Amino acid sequence: MLTHVCWFKKGHQHLLQGRRAVYGFIKEHRNQFPVEKMCRVLKVSASGYYYWLQNPVGLREQKEQQLVAQIKEVYQQSKCRYGSPRISFELGEQGIRASRPRVARLMQKHQIQSIIRKKYRVQTTDSSHVFTVAENHLARDFQAERPAEKWVSDLTYIRTLEGWLYLTIVLDLADRKVVGWALSETMEAETTTVAAFQMAVRNRPLFLSLLFHSDRGVQYACSAFREQLIGKPVVQSMSRKGNCWDNAVAESFFKTMKTEMVYHHQFATRQEAKLAIFEYIEGFYNRKRRHSKLGYLTPCQYENLLNNQTVAA
C-alpha cells in the first residue's frame, strides 16, 4: 500500500510537469503496474500514451530541433562568424520566422557560439615624414548618399611564418563595400596604397567629386600616391595626428576581419594568407556578410539598392 501511495505522489508530480512527462513516467513503470491503471489514476488516455510511445518527440520539440538545424546551417555557412542578430536576419530572409532572443536562447542552449572577439590593437602607419598633410575634411562624417562620394582607406599587417604581408583597403562609406585592396610584401606606396586606389577606381570610376580619407601615413602623403589624384575629382583628407577614431570605419573593418578570420589562422606561407584574405573580402565580406549599419544587408545588396534608387530617380 505504501508503495502505491509513493508511486501516486511521484506520478502526480510528473502530471504537474506536463502530459509528456506523465507518459515518460508511465513508460518507466510499465513493468511494475498496468498501463491502463496508471493512465486512469494519472488522468491521461491510454490511446494518448500509446501514440506518444510511437512519437516520443512532441510537435513543439520537432519544430525546435528543425530551427536548431537551420541555425547551425547558417552558422556553418558563415564559418562560425555570425551571432544571433545576423543569424536571425538570415533566417528571416529565408522565410523562417525566428526572433533574435529566441535564436540567442537556442544558440546558448546548444552551445553554438560565434567567434570570440580578441582585443584588437590599432596599427598606424608612419606619420613621421616631410610630406604635406591634408586637412581632416571628413571630420568623422561617415555617412554618404551615393557610391564614390566618400572613400576611407587604411593599411594593416598580417603575420605569416614566411614574414609579414601588408594589406591596404579602400572602403566606400555609402555601402561599406571594399572597392579596392592590395596585398604587398613591402610597405612601398606603389604596391600598397597606389595599387589599392587604382583597383578602386577601376571598380568605381569617378564621375563626381570624391572625398578620400586616410591616416597621415607616408604611403598616403608621398608623391607616388598624390600623383594618382591628379586630374581626378578627388579631395584628400587625413586624420588628425594619433587619432584613430577619425578613420574609425576603416579600422573597424580590420578589427572585424582579424577577429573573424586572421586571429584564428596560423598562416604557414604568404600565399596561404593571400588566398584566405581574398576569400574573406571577395567571397564573404562584400557578398555575404550582413552589415548592421546597412540594415543587415550585405554591401553588394546595398550597392544594388542604391543603384536601383538612382535609376528610379
What would the pLDDT profile of 49-79 be if each residue is shown by its tens digit?
Answer: 888 888 766 677 778 888 888 999 998 888 8
Domain chopping of the chain, boundaries: 2-54, 66-109, 150-312
C-beta separation of 138 from 262 below 8 A? no
Helices in the chain by DSSP H: which ranges?
A: 2-17, 19-29, 35-41, 46-54, 59-77, 84-93, 100-109, 193-203, 218-221, 223-226, 248-260, 270-278, 299-312
* Cross-strand pairs, 210: 234
From the CA atom positions of the chain, what is the Rg in Å?
29
C-beta separation of 124 from 217 below 8 A? yes
All three cell numbers of 20: 509528456
* Cross-strand pairs, 171: 152, 178
First to last CA, the chain: 85
**Segment among 92-106, 152-166, 174-188 with least mean pLDDT:** 92-106
* Nearest by Cα to 245 from 141, 127, 156: 141
Which is the CATH superfamily of the domain at 150-312? Answer: Ribonuclease H-like superfamily/Ribonuclease H (3.30.420.10)
Rounded CA gap, 122 and 252, in Å? 10
Rounded CA gap, 176 and 159, in Å? 25
Strand 150-160 and strand 210-214: pairing? parallel
The pLDDT tens digits of the residues spanning 79-121 come to 888 889 999 989 988 999 899 899 999 999 888 887 766 555 5
> Residue 80's CB: how many other CB atoms inside 10 A?
13
What rounded mean pLDDT belongs to the chain? 89
C-beta separation of 57 from 51 below 8 A? no
The pLDDT tens digits of the residues spanning 16-58 come to 457 888 988 999 999 999 999 999 999 899 998 888 888 766 6
